[in-house]
Chains A and B, each alone.
Chain A
Amino acid sequence: MKVSYFPGCTLKNKAKQLDVYARRCAEVLGITLEEIEAWQCCGGVFTTANDEVATKLSSVRALQAAQEKDQALVTVCSACHNVIKQTNHAMQTNASFADKVNRYNDTPYDGSTAVYHYLEMLRDLVGVDKIKEKVVNPLKGEKIAAYYGCLLLRPNSVMRMDDPENPSIMEDIIRAIGGTPVIYPYRNECCGGYVVMESPEFAKKKSNAVTESAASFGASRMVTACPLCKYNLEKNAPAVPVVYFTELLAEALGVKEDANA
C-alpha cells in the first residue's frame, strides 16, 4: 500500500530519528511512504484567527498533492498532523475560508484527502495484529510510558483519533510489541510547549510534572510523537529517557540501526 508522506521541517534536522524509523517500520509493515515533492512547512501552528489564510496555504498544497495521487496523507509529527488535519477540516466545513484559500490555488481543493497520523495508520491501515506478527525483538514487558501531550488528540471534534481524556492508541501498540504500558495521569498534559521560549521556568514545571508522574509509576522509558515534547521533557526534566515511538517500534521490528548511517 502506498501513501503520501509529509515529514515536516523538524524531521529533517532535530528529529531525524522520528522520520528515519517511521520509514523503516512502514516498509516492514508493508506500507510505502512516498514523500510529497517540494513540500513546505505545515505552517507550524494552526492559527485560530478566522481571517488568517496565508499560514495555512502550504498545508493545503500538501493535501492537494496527496489528492492528485489519490492517496491518503500520512504525517508523523504531532504538530504537523494537527495543523494539516485542522486545515483539511476547515476546507470541508468553513465555506468562506475554503473560498479564500481557493483563490490562491490553480485548481480548487475540497478537503477530501484522508489525513492519518502515523499512529492512526498503524492502528487503522496496518492493524495491531499485523504489528504483533512482525515483532522480532519483543520488549519483554519493559514498562513504557506513552506521552500524548496536548496537540496529538485535540481538538477531538477535528482529530477524531482517540479519546483525548483516556487514550489507548499508543498503549495498544506498546502492548503489541511486547511492552507494558504505564497508565499515568499526566500522559495527556502539556509539556510547556512553545512557552519554553518565553518562560523556561514554566516549561520546566510542566515537564517535571509529566516525567515525575511517569517515573512514579515505574516507567523506564517514555515515548512521544512530538519533537517539541521530546525537547522539553529531555531538557527540563530528564528523570526518564524519552524516545520517539517510531524508534521503539523499530527496535521491536528489528530495523533499528544507526539512523544517521
Chain B
Amino acid sequence: MQRIGVFVCWCGSNIAGTVDVQAVSDALKNEPGVVFSANYQYMCSQAGQNLIKEAIAEHRLTGIVVCSCSPRMHEATFRKTAAAAGINPYMVEIANIREQCSWVHKDMLTGTEKAIILGKAAVAKVNLNTPLTPGESPVTKRALVIGGGIAGIQTALDIADAGFPVDIVETKPTIGGKMAQLDKTFPTLDCAACILTPKMVDVAQNENIRIFSYSEVTAVKGFVGNFDVTIKKKARYVNEDVCTGCGACVEKCPMKKVPNEFNLNMDNRTAIYIPFAQAVPKVATIDPMHCNMLKNGKCGVCSKVCAAGAIDYKQQDQYIEEKYGAIVVATGFNPISMDKFDEYAYNQSKDVITSLEFERLTNAAGPTAGKLLRPSDHKHPHTIVFVQCVGSRCSACAEKGKEYCSKICCMYTAKHAMLTRDKYPDTEVYVFYIDVRTPGKNFDEFYRRAVEEYGVHYIKGMVGKVSPEGDKLKVQASDLLNNKQLHIDADLVVLAAAIEPDKSARPLATMLTASMDTNDFFTEAHPKLRPVESPTAGVFLSGACQGPKDIPETVSQASAAASKVISLLVKDKLTGNPCVASSDELMCNGCSSCERVCPYGAITYVDKEFRMPNRTIAIRRVAQVNPAVCQGCGACTVACPSGAMDLKGFANNQIVAEVDAICK
C-alpha cells in the first residue's frame, strides 16, 4: 500500500480564484492511500518545495500528487523535489487543475468539483505507480543545421566555434538566404553583402563545417543525441570538388533566357549558373529544366569550355546518411504570393512590385546595377507609393493573407523610402500604413528620420485600389487623419508583402515530429522560457522559421540555439525517458501490429525458446522494444491485440484506474 501525500497549489489566484483549494485538499485526504494533504500559495517556490520534502520525511510518503499547473510546466521541478527527499521521481503525479480546470471555468463550484475529480484520478494512478529508473544513451557529437540563411550560418559558426562539427543543408545552390538578396540593412544602413559575405566565407573556411548545398533532408530517424538523417544531394551536373567557379561556362552557355530567381525573375540567367558573385560554395549548377544538353543531348558547350573538366552530365542524385546529436531548423521565410491581391494590380502591371523586388532593383548587383528604374520602361520613377501590411494583419481576409504582423515591413519600408529620397531627391515618396511599428534599438529614431529629415509622406490609411492607366498607376487611397480620399498618379508601387514560413517547413516538421502552429511556424517548447527549443528533444529553432524576425533578432536567436546545441553536445551521455514500452513475452503472439505502428522503429521481433508443459520447448516469435529508441508514445500499446504491450508509467491498469476514479 502506498503512502501518498497530496499538495494543492493556489498558483496565487490563478487556481485559487476559481477553485476552492481548501475543499480540494480536504476531499482528497480521504482517498485510498492518502496519508497527508495540504495546500499552499506557490507550491513550486522554494518554500512550497520544502513543504513537500518535509512531508515526505515526516509522513514516510512513498508517492505524491501535486494538483497544480500543466505537467509541461513543473513536472520536472516536482520530480526533482521528490528525488531530493529520497523517493523515486516517477512516484510523482501532476493533476493539472490550472490549464485544464481553473483557467477554463468561471464558476467556483464546478471548478472545485472538477479539481477534486482530477486529483482523485491522479491519486488512483499513484497507487499503481512503480519506481522507474531511466537508462542512458550516448550523444553523437555532430550537429545538423537545416537552412543556410543568416540564421543557419550564425548557428553553424557558433557551434563550430565551440569545437563541434556541423553540417549545413541548404536547398539552393548557395548559402546566404534572403539576406544575400538585400541591399542595405536597417537601422544602420550597412550593406547586407558587406556584412554577410565575410560570414559566408568563414563558413566555407571553417574546418568544422561542411556545406551540403543544393541538397535537402529526406528522412530523419532516431531521437535526441542519436538522429539518423538522410540527405539528398541533388545532381547539379558539376563536380563540386573540381569546379573552380571561374564562370567560363556561364559566359558561354547559349541558353540565356532562363528567369533568374535570385533577382526574382526580373532578369535572365543562363542554364548553367552561379547565383551571384559571392556564392558559397562558388561552383556552377546546371538547371536541368532549361539545359539543352540534359533535355535533348544537343549542346555540351559548358563541358568544352570547362578547363577543370568539372561538368558531368551523367551525375545522379546522391543520398548521404549521417548521424547527428542535435538538429537546428533554420528554414526561413518567403514573401507570400500577390496573386490574390488584385486590388493592387500586381499581376496587371510590371511596375507594381514587392519590397523584395525593390531590394534587387536598388542593389548594385541587381538587374539594374542599383539604378532605380521601373521594370516596364526602365525610366526613373518620380512618384513612388509604398503600401504596407499587404496581406499582414489581415483578419478579415484570412483566405488570402495572414492574421499576424510580419514585423519587418515597417522598418524596411522606412529604409526604402529614406534611401530613395536620399539618392533621388526629385522623387516623391508616399508610405501608406495601418500603424507604424518600430520597437527595437534605434528603430523609431530611424523611422522619424525618414519622415522629418527626408520628407517621406507617411499617410495613415490603406490603398484601396491601384489601376494601371497609360504609363501611370492610379492609386486610390484614404487619408484617415484628414478624412480624405486621395488619388495619386504613381510611377511605381511597392507592396510590403506579408511573410510566411518556407514551404519546406511542413514536411520537415513531420519528419522531425516537431510541432507547428496554424501558420506553419515552428512552435517553441515554451513561448517565453524556452524560445529556441522545439518541444521535440534535440530539435532547435533558429530564425524566421519560428516567427517573423529581422536580422538582429534572427542572429540573436541563432546564437541562442547554438548555445543550446553546444550544451547538449558537451554531454557524453543523456538520461533517457524510462516511460517506454515493454512487451510481456508470454502474452505476445508475434503478430507485428506494434512494429507496424511504431513511428520510431523501436520494435523488432526475435525468435525465442519457451519452456512449455511436459518439458517441451517451443520457439515463438515475440516483440522486443529498444528502450533507447522508444519515445513512449504508446501507439503500440493501443495496437497490440493481446494486451502484451504496456507503457511504463502509463500502464493500462493505471489509465483504467484514472478513468474509474473520474467516473466514480
Residues in A lying within 8 Å of B, measured CB to CB = 157, 163, 165-166, 185-186, 189, 213, 216
Contacts and interface: CB of A to CB of B under 8 A. Distances in A.
A185 B342 contact: no
Contacts of A163: 342
A186 B469 CA distance: 11
Interface of B: 341-343, 347-348, 399, 465, 467-469, 474
Contact of A185 (B347, B399, B467): B467
| B interface: dominant SS | mixed
Contacts of B468: 185
Nearest to A186: B467
B322 to A, nearest CB: 48
Contact of B342 (A157, A165, A186, A189): A165
A67 to B, nearest CB: 28
B474 A165 contact: no
Given A185-B467, A185-B468, A216-B469, 6 more contacts: A165-B342, A166-B342, A166-B347, A185-B465, A189-B465, A213-B469
B68 to A, nearest CB: 38
Nearest to B396: A157
Contacts of A216: 469
Contacts, number: 18
A185 B469 contact: yes
8 contacts: A163-B342, A165-B341, A166-B347, A185-B468, A185-B474, A186-B467, A189-B465, A216-B469
Contacts of A213: 469
Nearest to A213: B469
Contacts of B399: 157
Contacts of A189: 465
Contacts of A186: 467
Contacts of A185: 465, 467-469, 474
Cβ-closest 4 pairs across A and B: A185-B467, A165-B342, A166-B342, A165-B343
Chain A at the B interface: mostly helix, strand, loop or mixed? Answer: helix
Contacts of A157: 399
A218 to B, nearest CB: 13
B30 to A, nearest CB: 44
A157 B396 CA distance: 9
B338 to A, nearest CB: 12
A24 B399 CA distance: 39
A162 to B, nearest CB: 11
A32 to B, nearest CB: 36
Contacts of B465: 165, 185, 189
A157 B347 CA distance: 22
Nearest to B469: A185
Contacts of B343: 165
Contacts of B474: 185
Contacts of B467: 185-186
B472 to A, nearest CB: 11
Contacts of A166: 342, 347-348
A213 B467 CA distance: 11
Nearest to B470: A216
Contacts of B341: 165
A90 to B, nearest CB: 17
Nearest to A188: B465
A237 B400 CA distance: 35
A241 to B, nearest CB: 22
A212 to B, nearest CB: 11
Contacts of B469: 185, 213, 216
Nearest to A217: B469
A189 B343 CA distance: 11
Nearest to A216: B469
Nearest to B467: A185
Contacts of B348: 166
A221 B380 CA distance: 37
Contacts of A165: 341-343, 465
A186 B476 CA distance: 11
A101 B376 CA distance: 55
A208 B621 CA distance: 86
A185 B347 CA distance: 14
Nearest to A165: B342
Nearest to A157: B399
Nearest to B341: A165
A189 B476 CA distance: 11
A4 B342 CA distance: 34
A150 to B, nearest CB: 12
B342 to A, nearest CB: 4
B344 to A, nearest CB: 8
Contacts of B342: 163, 165-166
B81 to A, nearest CB: 49
A221 B347 CA distance: 27
B407 to A, nearest CB: 26
B495 to A, nearest CB: 14
A165 B467 CA distance: 10
Contacts of B347: 166
B33 to A, nearest CB: 48
B352 to A, nearest CB: 13
B346 to A, nearest CB: 10
B451 to A, nearest CB: 30
Which of A157, A166, A185, A216 counts the most chain B CB atoms within 10 A? A185
A147 to B, nearest CB: 15
B587 to A, nearest CB: 51
